[in-house]
Chains A and B, each alone.
Chain A
Amino acid sequence: MDASSIINIAASGHAKEIMAIVSEQVFVCSYVREKECLYLRSVDEDAVETIQLAEWQQAGILQDCELTALEEEQFLVYASQVDDGEAMSLAIARARGFTLITDDRKAQRLATSAGITLLTTPQIFHVWAAGQHPRTVSEVLRAVERRARYRPSEGDPLNAWWLSACDRRE
Chain B
Amino acid sequence: MDNLLQQIDPRVLGQRLQNARKAAGLTQQQVADALGMARTTVVALEKGERLIAPHELIRFSSVCNRPVSELLSKKIITESFVPQFRATQHLDDEVERLTIKFQECAEDYAELESITGMPAPRMYPPVYETSGASPEQIGEDVAVAERARLGLGDGAASDLRDRLAIQVGIRIFYFEMPSKVAGLFAYNEPLGACIAINKNHPIDRQAWSLAHEYGHFLMSRYQPEVTVLFTNKRSAQRERLADAFAECFTMPATGLNRRITELQQSLPAGITLAHICELAGLYQVSVQALVKRLETLKRLPSGTWERLIAEGFKVRTAQKQLGIDPSSRQNERFPRHYVVLAIYAHRKGLISEGQFARFLRVDRLAARALLQSESYALHSEEELFAHYSSDLAQRLTGS
Given contacts A81-B73, A83-B355, A104-B352, contact A76 B368 (CB under 8 A): no
Whole-angstrom distance between the alpha carbons of A121 and B369 in the complex? 19
Residues of A within 8 A of B364 (CB): 3-4, 7, 36-39
Using Cβ atoms and an 8 Å threshold, which residues of chain A touch B3?
A: 73
Contact A148 B365 (CB under 8 A): yes
List the interface of chain B (C-beta within 8 A of A). 1, 3-5, 54-55, 57-58, 67-69, 72-73, 349-355, 357-358, 363-366, 368-369, 371-372
The CA of A36 and the CA of B372, in the complex, are separated in Å by 21
Task: Count A-B pairs with CB separation below 8 Å.
Answer: 96
- Distance in angstroms from B54 CB to nearest chain A CB is 4
A80 touches B73 (CB 8 A): yes
- Of the A-B pairs whose beta carbons lie under 8 Å apart in the complex, a sample of 21, sorted by A's number, is A3-B354, A3-B364, A7-B365, A39-B366, A41-B365, A48-B365, A73-B54, A74-B1, A75-B58, A76-B4, A76-B5, A79-B72, A80-B69, A80-B72, A82-B352, A83-B69, A83-B355, A84-B67, A84-B69, A86-B353, A105-B349
- Which of chain A's residues have a CB closer than 8 A to the CB of B351? 106
Within 8 A of B (CB), among A71-96: 72-77, 79-87
CA distance A65 to B358 in the complex (A): 24
State the A residues within 8 Å of B (CB): 3-4, 7, 35-41, 48, 67, 69, 72-77, 79-87, 103-107, 109, 148-150
A149 to chain B: closest residue by CB: B368
A residues near B57, Cβ cutoff 8 Å: 76
- Cα–Cα, bound, A52→B95 (Å): 36
B68 to A, closest residue via Cβ: A79
Which B-chain residue is minimally distant from A49 (CB atoms)?
Answer: B365
A91 to B372, alpha carbons, bound, how many Å? Answer: 30
Residue pair A87, B368 in contact (C-beta under 8 Å): no
A39 proximity list for chain B (CB < 8 A): 363-366
> Given contacts A73-B3, A83-B69, is CB(A104)–CB(B353) below 8 Å?
yes
Task: Please state if A87 and B69 are interface contacts (CB–CB under 8 Å).
Answer: yes
Say yes or no: B1 contacts A40, CB within 8 Å.
no
Residues from chain A with Cβ under 8 Å of B369 in the complex: 149
| Nearest-neighbor residue (CB-CB) of B61 within chain A | A84
Residues in A neighbouring B365, C-beta threshold 8 A: 7, 38-41, 48, 148-149
Q: Within 8 Å CB of B352, what residues of A?
A: 82-83, 86, 104-107
* Structural contact, B58 and A72, CB atoms closer than 8 A: yes
Known: A80-B4, A83-B352, A109-B349. 16 other contacts (CB 8 A): A35-B67, A36-B364, A37-B364, A39-B363, A39-B364, A75-B54, A76-B54, A76-B57, A80-B72, A82-B355, A83-B69, A84-B69, A84-B354, A86-B353, A104-B352, A106-B349
